[in-house]
Amino acid sequence: MTHLIDSPTLPLPKPGQLRAYWRVPASASALAVAIAAAAAQHRAPLLLVARDNHAAHQLEADLHTLLGGDPALPVLTFPDWETLPYDRFSPHPDIVSQRLATLARLPGLQRGIVVVPVATLMQRVAPLAHVIGNRFDFRLGQQLDLDAEKRRLEAAGYRHAPQVFDPGDFAVRGGLLDVFPMGAEVPFRIELLDDEIDSIRAFDPESQRSLERIERIELLPGREVPLDEAPVRRALDALRDRFDIDTRRSALVQDLKAGLAPAGIEYYLPLFHAGTATLFDYLGSGMLPVLGEGVFEAAEHAWAQIGVRHDQLRHDVERPLLPPAELWLSPDALREALNRGERIEVCDGAHPRHADAHPLPLQPAPPLPLAAKDQAPAQALRDFLAHYPGRVLVATDSPGRREAMLEMLQAAGLQPEVLADWPAFAGSFTAGRGGLPESLPDTRLVGLPPASRGEASKFAIAVAPFDDGFALDDPALCVLTERQLFPERASQPRRRKRAGREPEAIIRDLGELSLGAPIVHEDHGVGRYRGLLSMDIGGMPGEFLDIEYAKGDRLYVPVAQLDRISRYSGANPDTAPLHNLGGEQWTKAKKKAAEKVRDVAAELLEIQARRQARKGLAIDVDRVMYEPFAATFPFEETPDQHAAIEAVIRDLASSQPMDRVVCGDVGFGKTEVAVRAAFVAAAAGKQVAVLVPTTLLAEQHYRNFRDRFADWPLKVEVLSRFKSKKEIDAELQRLAEGKLDVIVGTHRLLQPDVRFPDLGLVIVDEEQRFGVRQKEALKKLRANVHLLTLTATPIPRTLNMAMAGLRDLSIIATPPANRLAVQTFVNAWDEALLREAFQRELARGGQVYFLHNDVESIRRMHDELQALVPDARIGIAHGQMPERELERVMLDFHKQRFNVLLCSTIIESGIDIPNANTIIINRADKFGLAQLHQLRGRVGRSHHRAYAYLTIPDRRSITPDAKKRLDAIASMDELGAGFTLATHDLEIRGAGELLGEGQSGQMAEVGFSLYTDLLERAVASIKAGKLPDVDDVDRHGADVDLHVPALIPDDYLPDPHARLTLYKRISAARDADALRELQVEMIDRFGLLPDATRHLFATAELKLDATRLGIRKLDLGASGGRMQFVEKPNVDPMSVIRLIQGQPKHYRMDGPDKLRISLDMAEAATRFNAARGLLAALAPA
């Protein structure tokens, strides 16, 4: 038997041999195992070259898992800039930080692994002298002149910011200097006593709280491109000498003269240095390249893309381009660099030159699906364990996943050994050397178990986030991941925090509840939340919601009954109508609301009935055309985006017209959902109308659709006021003749002279921006064609209809990768603050929106801003400008001829400029909440940190409603806040717009959540052909009480607000899978669950099962208990009879609706098992 790490068989190049070929299974994890072993044997660094970013990320993650942060074998990454060649915006500071940190470590790297995508390896980089020669440090006791230090930091490429968030930021406040060094994990706070450094503390950039004290920090340069005087002068001279450039018009030249870093400055790197370097210069001659499969083909492709981009962009005289060879190594030059010494190539063995490829003793792990619905769900795994000669590890992504997997395996009768992580598993092997040469290192350094095995358990489970499973031949070892155990889940990455939440849960969440806020109990009415209380009832600890009602009466609600509690929305919380506890007022209010709701439901269902009655609109997706089209989407779909696209395609294929609302926060990818839907419809020969509220948004969508459809025989046009009447008439003629497939336009599309011979799909963007007449025209369309509505902040009526199931709802709550939340500040007008905001954005090469919504004084504001920021290039845009002039200004801003756009609300929709990442909204108190959210969404559309400044007069002079709007927008600065803001809007504006004033009174009485719930029930009844029963409005889940502690202890989670949120989420869970995912999340965030919290989850699962069976109450104690049924339970009567006849001592009926239970159940586990068994016995077959 050979060993993977045995030097005679490990295929490292032998003396005199330039290359060795590895034949490795198609698994990133298997390749990572081989590389980790090679790194342990080789006495110099390995350069691991991946074919693309994705492969590099996978390998890096698996290597970190295997090597466990071993300082003797570090894993370094040199990431790609993640911009296109010759791009007009710069990489994110996090990327630059990691690149500089890696470059700084490479010259002294003795051993380890450097992971790099091949396209990144081709880049020329700053010379070693720049990275090493421009380092400086801060030490305790060091004398410091803050003004001089500020200049030194700026010269080194650091950015002055009001608050430090990103690598490369620094801030000065009094005697404090905050700085986030490039390459550091966290920022540092330097405190001065007089002019001497008194303390240096690491701190959290989000909370701004100190973490630990240290004695010294080292700072790398802030950029790969130096911006101090001499390099900038060298670059300006080179630009003048080499290119025919008008230095007065060129934004590039003007920014450099002003000491600013223009976006995309990295693509002029050679002009700032006397010479450039490559990664090979940093690594030296001893490194051993390991080339992933297909890297040379990927290099050729990258080089071709660089050439295409150069050809496309080289005609811009204001922004001349350097030849590709000055910025990148050509594929030939790359081969030459790699051919200078030994190397390893990974291959599949198919090519003749790979005939001598060494097959490594590695195989993919076999698929062993856990089929939860089968009688023996783990039979395949059980059989594998019985026959496999070696050890088997189930590797999970996190402690939470480990606990969930452990529960599933134990339920299937398997009992794996529970280990912490991969090192614990590797270390659990006996440390015998198994005959390996003593010259080899102990392979536990690389996480590979030694060959000889002791008595450790054959089957184990641990946290080891491998990308894929793998098997070793010797020692016999198989690693299984969820890809093997759940093959159907493997293609979609999990995003547990957002993807698993139901739309209703997002809206009805208690997460924002504060002390004194009004809440609704379904049985007792509106009261005020006074906190969480811990009390012992009958010797059993429990946690209760304390609710205060009218006249000071108190109600204590067990946390297990939180499904009956909802936030009160629909009127001003300060004037919410509190009800009398135990009085008739609430019952009457609820019954009256139910009567009103019945009428509304009938009216709303008329539209749906007309829709459902119409057949023949099914549009099947042409997969032969669709799949290549979908593949051209330049970004990775988020899970929510993928789900929304698939839902829309299913709707289109239905014979009933689609009516779906896609709600996603600004910039979360709603447009791509619309583009896919339009493509499916147009490819099937149907016409598509895209209806938008503004001309600018029409132009934006037109460009997006045109660019995406460019390679397909589909015609896209736009009806816009930027076009002449003659042009519009010509487009309308082509539309009427069926010669246009997609038409984009404003409400002009709803005019009678717009004729569609075969309209199949209408896409409406930003529905809340349309007026009543346009909505009436849309209502008529809705019954006849497929309708897709896109919205960031849904209007309440849209929310209500979607919630009631009349319009299907898709929520895109997952932000795109690397997207950062917009930092939002509400301040009175402050020239110093605004100047700083401008300078910070312009210094990083970005652009600024300044929104001033008063056309009469906009010229005066232009002069004020120019005096405030003399270096800014300011353009003006507003709706009263001539169309052609407005179009020119917007185009100039897009091309960065202006770096500040002074504008009206014309930018609210339709502007997508990734380089603009600061917005200043003047007199923000005059805007609505949805409007503020939309305006803020103009920034933060790339992976740069974005800022929104909302300026107001003195806070005392603005209205209470304006204060609430501003507080809401400032507090909702996380990604995906659109839904929460919609419910805030209800509270602030009242419910008048929802269904008219006639309904708003009822909603104010019972609250938006309960009102919506009543509407949902009424709709369901009418759909089922029944008249809604206004007397039966008290419907909630079963009461389950097993007389065991079932709570989240405060010593496990001290924050009562967080406990309340989790209690509500547990009570709102729809099924066992949702509860399991929530368990996983809690374990990941707070640690292993205490017994009381395990009981809480088990009780919630029993409640779900009992509710489905029509059981009103289940009460079990140490010696038995009772079960009470609803009037018409979903239970087979024969199962009850069989239960009583089979065990008459233990079960008997007590009246028509109660089952008495007599069992000895002193232990909690016995009680839960008895309850599960009883419910299973009563479930219909």
| Of the residues 219, 238, 264, the one at which a domain ends | 219
Residue 450 pLDDT more than 60?
no
Cβ atoms within 10 Å of 1108's Cβ, excluding its own = 15
| Of the residues 974, 998, 1019, the one at which a domain ends | 974
- 904 Rama class: left (phi>0) / alpha (psi -120 to 50) / beta: beta
Residue 509 pLDDT more than 70?
no
pLDDT (average), residues 1121-1149: 87
Lowest-confidence segment of 300-314, 827-841, 1022-1036 by average pLDDT: 1022-1036
pLDDT (average), residues 466-487: 84
Lowest-confidence segment of 47-51, 281-285, 424-428 by average pLDDT: 424-428
pLDDT, one tens digit per residue, over 773-785 is: 675 666 566 557 8
Residue-level pLDDT at 1033 = 47
584 is a domain residue: no
Lowest-confidence segment of 6-10, 158-162, 840-844 by average pLDDT: 6-10
Lowest-confidence segment of 248-257, 565-574, 723-732 by average pLDDT: 565-574
Whether 128 and 807 have beta carbons less than 8 Å apart is answered as no
Give the phi and the psi of residue 1069 in degrees, each rounded to 5: -60, 140
Regarding whether 424 and 320 lie in a shared domain, the answer is: no
Regarding whether 345 and 207 lie in a shared domain, the answer is: no
CA–CA gap between residue 1127 and residue 1153 (Å, rounded): 8
Regarding whether 1078 and 1110 lie in a shared domain, the answer is: yes
Whether 342 and 13 have beta carbons less than 8 Å apart is answered as yes
pLDDT, one tens digit per residue, over 971-1008 is: 665 544 554 555 555 444 433 433 443 444 555 566 66
235 is a domain residue: no
Nearest Cα to Cα of residue 789 among 682, 651, 908, 907:
651
| Residue 849 or 778, more confident | 849
Q: Helix H segments across 341-461?
A: 379-387, 399-411, 422-427
Residue-level pLDDT at 970 = 73
646 is a domain residue: no
The CATH number given to whatever domain includes residue 418 is: 3.40.50
Residue-level pLDDT at 614 = 64
Cβ atoms within 10 Å of 197's Cβ, excluding its own = 19
pLDDT, one tens digit per residue, over 190-215 is: 988 888 999 999 987 765 667 888 99
pLDDT, one tens digit per residue, over 96-122 is: 888 999 999 999 899 999 999 999 999
Whether 767 and 663 have beta carbons less than 8 Å apart is answered as no
Regarding whether 466 and 324 lie in a shared domain, the answer is: no
Model confidence at 1020, pLDDT cuts 50, 70, 90, reads low
pLDDT, one tens digit per residue, over 669-690 is: 888 999 999 999 999 999 999 9
CA dihedral for 764, 767, 770, 771, sign (positive or negative): positive
**Residue written as token pair 């459902």:** 612
Residue 454 pLDDT more than 70?
no
DSSP tag of 523: T
969 is a domain residue: yes
The CATH number given to whatever domain includes residue 878 is: 3.40.50.300
Residue-level pLDDT at 499 = 35
Whether 816 and 524 have beta carbons less than 8 Å apart is answered as no
Residue 743 pLDDT more than 90?
yes
Lowest-confidence segment of 266-275, 778-787, 880-889, 1134-1143 by average pLDDT: 778-787
| Residue 448 or 1022, more confident | 1022
CA distances from 182 to 92, 97, 135, 218, 947 (A): 12, 4, 10, 9, 21
Regarding whether 968 and 851 lie in a shared domain, the answer is: yes
Residue-level pLDDT at 68 = 76
Could you write out the DSSP letters of every residue in 621-680?
Answer: --HHHHHHHHHT-SSPPPHHHHHHHHHHHHHHHSSSPPEEEEEE-TTSSHHHHHHHHHHH
pLDDT (average), residues 851-871: 93
What mean pLDDT, rounded, does the chain reach? 79
Residue-level pLDDT at 670 = 86
Model confidence at 1098, pLDDT cuts 50, 70, 90, reads very high
Regarding whether 169 and 121 lie in a shared domain, the answer is: no
Lowest-confidence segment of 9-23, 922-936, 1111-1125, 1128-1142 by average pLDDT: 9-23
Residue-level pLDDT at 361 = 76
Domain count, the chain: 5
- Most confident range, picked from 191-205, 324-338, 483-497: 324-338
The CATH number given to whatever domain includes residue 1127 is: 3.90.1150.50
Residue-level pLDDT at 376 = 72
pLDDT, one tens digit per residue, over 610-667 is: 656 666 578 888 877 887 788 777 666 777 888 899 999 999 988 788 888 888 766 7
Give the phi and the psi of residue 807 in degrees, each rounded to 5: -125, 135
| Residue 592 or 19, more confident | 592
CA–CA gap between residue 901 and residue 907 (Å, rounded): 10
**Both tokens of residue 371?**
């089929």
**Residue written as token pair 């709102």:** 1068
**Residue written as token pair 């002791």:** 454
CA–CA gap between residue 727 and residue 722 (Å, rounded): 10
Residue-level pLDDT at 922 = 94
Could you write out the DSSP letters of every residue in 775-839?
Answer: HHHHHHHHTTSEEEEEESS--HHHHHHHHTTSSEEEEE-SPPTT--PEEEEEEE--HHHHHHHHH
Whether 90 and 261 have beta carbons less than 8 Å apart is answered as yes
Residue-level pLDDT at 819 = 57
Could you write out the DSSP letters of every residue in 872-890?
Answer: --EEEE-TTS-HHHHHHHH
Give the phi and the psi of residue 652 in degrees, each rounded to 5: -65, -35
**Residue written as token pair 């159940």:** 1161
Regarding whether 119 and 163 lie in a shared domain, the answer is: no
**Both tokens of residue 59?**
């390998």
Burial classification of residue 45, based on how many CB atoms lie within 10 Å of its CB (0-12 exposed, 13-18 middle, 19 or more buried) = buried
pLDDT, one tens digit per residue, over 1160-1173 is: 888 888 999 999 98
Lowest-confidence segment of 770-774, 859-863, 947-951, 1107-1111 by average pLDDT: 770-774
Domain that holds residue 140: 136-219
Regarding whether 486 and 466 lie in a shared domain, the answer is: yes
The CATH number given to whatever domain includes residue 56 is: 3.40.50.11180
- 1039 Rama class: left (phi>0) / alpha (psi -120 to 50) / beta: beta
Long-range own/partner contacts, residues 971-976 (CB < 8 A, 24 or more apart): 972/933, 973/821, 973/822, 973/823, 973/824, 974/821, 975/665, 975/668, 975/815, 975/819, 975/821, 976/498, 976/664, 976/665, 976/668, 976/813, 976/814, 976/815
What stretches of 956-1042 adopt beta strand conformation (E)? 1039-1041
| Of the residues 974, 992, 1016, the one at which a domain ends | 974
Model confidence at 836, pLDDT cuts 50, 70, 90, reads confident
Residue-level pLDDT at 613 = 65
**Both tokens of residue 481?**
């991941």
Cis bond before residue 558 (omega within 30° of 0): no
pLDDT above 90 covers what percent of the chain?
A: 21
CA distances from 296 to 23, 83, 105, 302, 981 (A): 17, 21, 27, 10, 50
CA–CA gap between residue 219 and residue 178 (Å, rounded): 13
533 is a domain residue: no
Cβ atoms within 10 Å of 565's Cβ, excluding its own = 24
Regarding whether 826 and 952 lie in a shared domain, the answer is: yes
Regarding whether 310 and 215 lie in a shared domain, the answer is: no
Model confidence at 507, pLDDT cuts 50, 70, 90, reads very low
Burial classification of residue 675, based on how many CB atoms lie within 10 Å of its CB (0-12 exposed, 13-18 middle, 19 or more buried) = buried
CA–CA gap between residue 467 and residue 781 (Å, rounded): 48
CA–CA gap between residue 880 and residue 702 (Å, rounded): 22
| Separation of first and last alpha carbons in the chain | 54
502 is a domain residue: no
**Both tokens of residue 207?**
């909370």
Q: How many residues does the chain have?
A: 1181
Model confidence at 140, pLDDT cuts 50, 70, 90, reads very high
Residue-level pLDDT at 690 = 94
CA–CA gap between residue 2 and residue 289 (Å, rounded): 25
| Residue 93 or 495, more confident | 93
How far from chain centre, in Å, is Cα 903? Answer: 31
CA–CA gap between residue 943 and residue 816 (Å, rounded): 9
Regarding whether 49 and 92 lie in a shared domain, the answer is: yes
| Residue 1145 or 165, more confident | 1145
Q: Helix H segments across 820-959?
A: 831-843, 858-868, 883-894, 929-936
Regarding whether 117 and 154 lie in a shared domain, the answer is: no
175 is a domain residue: yes
Residue-level pLDDT at 1139 = 87
Residue 315 pLDDT more than 50?
yes
**Both tokens of residue 556?**
């204590």
The CATH number given to whatever domain includes residue 171 is: 3.30.2060.10
pLDDT (average), residues 250-272: 87
pLDDT (average), residues 894-918: 82
Which residues, including other chains, have CB under 8 Å from residue 898's CB and lie 6 or more apart? Answer: 847, 873, 874, 875, 889, 892
Lowest-confidence segment of 491-495, 590-594, 620-624, 1010-1014 by average pLDDT: 491-495
Sheet of 1154-1158: strand order equals 1039-1041, 1111-1116, 1120-1125, 1154-1158, 1147-1149
**Both tokens of residue 746?**
């404003």
Residue-level pLDDT at 809 = 76
147 is a domain residue: yes
State the SS3 of 237-253: HHHHHHCCCCCCCCHHH
Residue-level pLDDT at 980 = 54
pLDDT above 70 covers what percent of the chain?
A: 78
